[in-house]
Amino acid sequence: MKLWKPSLAFLYKTSARTQSKAFKASPPIVLASGFAVLIILGTLALKLPFATLEPITWLQAVFTATSAVTVTGLVVADTGGDFTLFGISVIAVLIQLGGIGFMTFAILAVSSLGGKISIQQRLLAKEAMNQTSLMNIVKTAKAVLILAVICELVAALALTLLWWPEMPLIKAFGHGIFYAISAFNNAGFGLSPDSLSAYASNVPVNLIISFLFIIGGLGFSVITNMYEGRRWRNFSVYTKSILITTLVINLVSMFVIYGLEHNNPRTLGGLSDVGQWTAAWFQAVTPRTAGFNSVDIGALTDASAVYMLLLMFIGGGSMSTAGGIKLGTFIILMLATYTFIRRREHVTLMERSVSQDAVMKALSITMITIAMLFIGIFVLMILNNLPFIDIAFEVLSASATVGLSRGITEDLTPLSQCIVMLLMFAGRVGPLTLVYFLTTPNKRRIRYPQTNIQVG
């Protein structure tokens, strides 16, 4: 027995060391693993016999689960027509977990049970929620969840009242809940094959849905700062810049889409004057990762499609349910370009200097994103005999977790659909991983002589 006790102690210490090493894995690896586990669980749930009206393939199940967890919205099965109430509920849960982030729920679960969150867990949460301080993690997590619940419940009730006249109350409430979750999390999943095309001229529905994904796409740090600051003068420089840029991009995009499509009989041309402006507004704000559409995306002119590529590439705010390179990255790129053209030494924003690290980070994120897009388009062009604009649209939509499509998702080869899944996963997890490695100090003490490289 005396020999047995030390053996148990040795095993316990060995196990503790193993667990310690497991939990010391870098935050990006843990985050990516968490999303992968959610996708696997979602796939298994969607393959259950009572999840669908008719059996679906494993590829359809994993594609749907991936699209939901990454809050993209691309589909290879009709959400409202192929899935039962259970299946639709699973998709909604995956959207909520993937959008707000499983780390938020994990932190709140530990906190509500009275547990202490370790430094390693706080570091992991800091990376997941793109925070700069470890002190406000739990506070931010609670604020995120409260904001989501309030916005989704209010919107769901409003949508229920709007849809009640055309469908039973319970069904209207179910639709309201699903669309509220999908919109706030910028997922773009709809219960109709044509998304919201039936409500292209319905002003209240368009405003509620667009309000949800704009709020979700601003970024929780912006919303928190607005709530705490109360007044414009108390807002941070980042919050002000995101709000101004969002407003400008949305308004300019509305006029651009209206100008390009108001004579197109397949999109805005067949609508009333009010309907045209309503649809123009909706299609102007949805490409920045919302994924809903109120007109046929495949019927848009090529000019409109190319303009939407730019909007999808920019995306929404950091620490939001949106994708893309992020609005803050775009702002820094524009400022850096302006600074170089004016031959100034420092990048400034609202009488504040932008650090060189932030500029380098923005350039790195943009270049890696462009490389990923090029590879995706190149490979899909090889595997599919489809128009270039359709392939480019699909790849950018997947990598920016937008969910808009020109109607080719189901026509892609199985291997192409697998590549699209990888793009969706990389678009959701990749930026987190990239930011982590870019913010991890790795300074070199060696400095080399300067040289001149011709540029331009």
Q: How far is CA 20 from CA 8, 15, 208, in A?
A: 18, 8, 47
**Residue 427 in this model has a pLDDT that exceeds 80:** yes
* Helices 273-285 and 302-314, packing angle to 10 deg: 40
Once rounded to an integer, what is the mean pLDDT over residues 391-400?
94
What tokens appear for 156 in the block?
């769901």
3-state secondary structure of 83: strand
The amino acid occupying position 383 is L
Task: Give, for 2, the enclosing helix (H) or strand (E).
Answer: none
**Residue 229 in this model has a pLDDT that exceeds 60:** yes
Strand-pair partners of 348: 353
**Residue 222 in this model has a pLDDT that exceeds 90:** no
**Residue 1 in this model has a pLDDT that exceeds 50:** no
3-state secondary structure of 456: coil
- For the chain, what are the domain ranges? 26-438
The amino acid occupying position 443 is K
What tokens appear for 168 in the block?
């039973």
**Residue 446 in this model has a pLDDT that exceeds 60:** yes
**Residue 20 in this model has a pLDDT that exceeds 60:** no
pLDDT digits (tens, 9 = 90+) for 53-98: 999 999 999 999 999 999 998 999 999 889 999 999 999 999 999 8
Once rounded to an integer, what is the mean pLDDT over residues 1-30?
48
- pLDDT at position 443, please? 61
Helical ranges in 113-202 per DSSP H = 119-128, 137-163, 169-184
Q: What is the DSSP string of 374-418?
A: HHHHHHHHHH----HHHHHHHHHHHHTT----SS-GGGS-HHHHH
Q: Could you give the count of Cα atoms lying within 13 Å of 231 in the half-sphere of its Cβ?
A: 2
What is the pTM for the complete model shown?
0.85
Once rounded to an integer, what is the mean pLDDT over residues 105-127?
60
Share of residues in the chain with pLDDT > 70 (%): 81
The amino acid occupying position 138 is V
